[in-house]
Amino acid sequence: MSRLATPIRKNDNVLVITGKNRGTRGRVLRVDPDKNRLVVEGVNVIKRHTKPNPQRNIKGGVVEREAPIHASNVQLVCPECGKQTRVGRKVLNDGRKVRICRKCEGVVDK
Protein backbone atom coordinates (compact mmCIF):
# COMPACT_ATOMS: atom_id res chain seq x y z
CA MET A 1 0.00 0.00 0.00
CA SER A 2 1.31 3.43 -0.90
CA ARG A 3 1.82 6.04 1.80
CA LEU A 4 -0.13 9.26 1.35
CA ALA A 5 1.96 12.31 2.12
CA THR A 6 -0.03 14.49 4.49
CA PRO A 7 1.52 17.88 5.24
CA ILE A 8 0.25 17.72 8.84
CA ARG A 9 2.48 16.17 11.49
CA LYS A 10 2.27 15.25 15.16
CA ASN A 11 2.03 18.20 17.61
CA ASP A 12 0.80 20.60 14.89
CA ASN A 13 -2.09 22.91 15.78
CA VAL A 14 -5.00 22.39 13.40
CA LEU A 15 -8.49 23.79 12.82
CA VAL A 16 -11.39 21.45 11.97
CA ILE A 17 -13.06 22.86 8.85
CA THR A 18 -15.95 20.42 8.40
CA GLY A 19 -18.05 17.93 10.37
CA LYS A 20 -19.67 18.04 13.78
CA ASN A 21 -16.59 19.61 15.41
CA ARG A 22 -16.24 22.40 12.82
CA GLY A 23 -14.40 25.45 14.16
CA THR A 24 -12.55 23.52 16.88
CA ARG A 25 -8.80 23.96 17.26
CA GLY A 26 -6.63 21.22 18.67
CA ARG A 27 -3.22 19.59 18.72
CA VAL A 28 -2.51 16.51 16.59
CA LEU A 29 -1.83 13.51 18.83
CA ARG A 30 -1.31 10.78 16.23
CA VAL A 31 -0.98 10.55 12.43
CA ASP A 32 -1.78 7.48 10.31
CA PRO A 33 -0.28 8.19 6.86
CA ASP A 34 -1.50 4.86 5.40
CA LYS A 35 -5.17 5.76 5.96
CA ASN A 36 -4.59 9.55 5.76
CA ARG A 37 -6.22 10.01 9.17
CA LEU A 38 -5.20 11.79 12.35
CA VAL A 39 -6.27 12.01 15.97
CA VAL A 40 -6.81 15.55 17.24
CA GLU A 41 -7.00 16.44 20.94
CA GLY A 42 -10.62 17.05 22.01
CA VAL A 43 -12.09 16.42 18.55
CA ASN A 44 -14.40 13.54 17.49
CA VAL A 45 -14.73 12.21 21.05
CA ILE A 46 -16.50 8.84 21.22
CA LYS A 47 -17.72 6.73 24.14
CA ARG A 48 -16.15 3.30 24.30
CA HIS A 49 -17.63 0.56 26.50
CA THR A 50 -14.66 -1.46 27.79
CA LYS A 51 -14.45 -4.66 29.78
CA PRO A 52 -12.16 -4.73 32.80
CA ASN A 53 -8.82 -6.46 32.21
CA PRO A 54 -6.78 -6.95 35.40
CA GLN A 55 -3.73 -8.21 33.47
CA ARG A 56 -3.39 -4.94 31.54
CA ASN A 57 -4.56 -2.86 34.51
CA ILE A 58 -7.62 -1.60 32.61
CA LYS A 59 -10.74 -0.62 34.51
CA GLY A 60 -14.12 -1.37 32.97
CA GLY A 61 -16.84 1.12 32.14
CA VAL A 62 -17.56 3.85 29.63
CA VAL A 63 -14.36 5.56 28.46
CA GLU A 64 -14.29 8.71 26.34
CA ARG A 65 -11.52 8.91 23.77
CA GLU A 66 -10.69 10.65 20.51
CA ALA A 67 -11.38 8.83 17.24
CA PRO A 68 -9.41 9.49 14.04
CA ILE A 69 -10.68 11.98 11.46
CA HIS A 70 -9.66 12.37 7.84
CA ALA A 71 -6.78 14.73 7.13
CA SER A 72 -8.82 16.61 4.51
CA ASN A 73 -11.19 17.80 7.25
CA VAL A 74 -8.53 19.89 9.01
CA GLN A 75 -6.28 22.81 8.10
CA LEU A 76 -2.98 23.74 9.67
CA VAL A 77 -2.90 26.82 11.92
CA CYS A 78 0.21 28.92 11.24
CA PRO A 79 2.23 29.51 14.44
CA GLU A 80 3.36 32.96 13.20
CA CYS A 81 0.16 34.59 11.90
CA GLY A 82 -2.33 32.36 13.76
CA LYS A 83 -4.56 31.82 10.71
CA GLN A 84 -5.68 28.62 9.05
CA THR A 85 -3.61 28.01 5.96
CA ARG A 86 -2.58 25.60 3.27
CA VAL A 87 0.93 24.21 3.52
CA GLY A 88 3.70 24.95 1.05
CA ARG A 89 7.23 23.65 0.80
CA LYS A 90 10.45 25.62 0.46
CA VAL A 91 14.16 24.84 0.41
CA LEU A 92 16.15 27.22 2.61
CA ASN A 93 19.65 28.51 1.84
CA ASP A 94 21.22 25.95 4.17
CA GLY A 95 19.56 23.11 2.21
CA ARG A 96 16.76 22.26 4.67
CA LYS A 97 13.28 21.50 3.29
CA VAL A 98 10.67 23.22 5.46
CA ARG A 99 6.90 23.66 5.45
CA ILE A 100 5.71 27.24 5.01
CA CYS A 101 2.46 29.13 5.53
CA ARG A 102 0.78 30.10 2.25
CA LYS A 103 -0.57 33.34 3.73
CA CYS A 104 2.42 34.91 5.53
CA GLU A 105 5.27 32.84 4.00
CA GLY A 106 6.38 32.03 7.57
CA VAL A 107 8.20 28.80 8.40
CA VAL A 108 5.96 26.25 10.16
CA ASP A 109 8.80 23.87 11.12
CA LYS A 110 11.01 24.95 13.99
At 48, which helix (H) or strand (E)? Answer: strand 45-50
Same domain, 38 and 51: yes
The boundaries of the domain holding residue 21 are 1-77
- CATH (domain of 36): 2.30.30.30
Same domain, 15 and 51: yes
pTM exceeds cut of 0.95:
no
Count of domains observed in the chain: 2
> Of 99, 96, 95, 72, which Cα lies nearest the Cα of 12?
99
Mean pLDDT in consecutive groups of 10 residues from the start of the chain, 110 residues: 74 95 96 94 95 92 95 94 92 92 88
Backbone dihedral angles phi then psi of residue 73, each to the nearest 5 degrees: -90, 5
- Coil vs helix vs strand at 73: helix
pLDDT the model gives residue 13: 95
The answer to whether 81 touches 106, Cβ cutoff 8 Å, is: yes
Same domain, 71 and 90: no
